[in-house]
Amino acid sequence: MATLWFVPPVFVKSETNGVRHGCNNARAALEQLKRWTRRGPCWHKAWTLCLSALEGDPIDPHVIRKAFVAAAKEAEMYLSPE
């Protein structure tokens, strides 16, 4: 299975208060998506893209990153890179 790296990383809230988690590949994004309780349409799109990519479908990592950012914002998990 490919990891499918993307740059720059997407920063999201972690389970530990005040700690940021930087996701820079489809596998890490999928692991974060599993933890989120708010699962709207953007979450489902990001989940499907990450899973498909890890199963070998040729998906551009930038498309995965964009979908993950949208899902993080939708779930109120997104953090600014600064």
- Per residue in 2-44, pLDDT tens? 668 998 999 999 877 778 999 999 999 999 999 999 999 999 9
Q: Which residues contact 49 (CB under 8 A, 6 or more apart)?
A: 26, 59, 63, 64, 67
How far, CA to CA in Å, does 39 sit from each of 43, 44, 81? Answer: 5, 7, 23
Report the side by side order of strands in the sheet with 5-13. 20-25, 5-13, 78-79
Would you state the pLDDT for residue 81?
80
Would you state the pLDDT for residue 2?
60
Look up the pTM and report it: 0.93
What average pLDDT does this structure show over 42-67? 96
Domains of the chain by residue range: 5-75
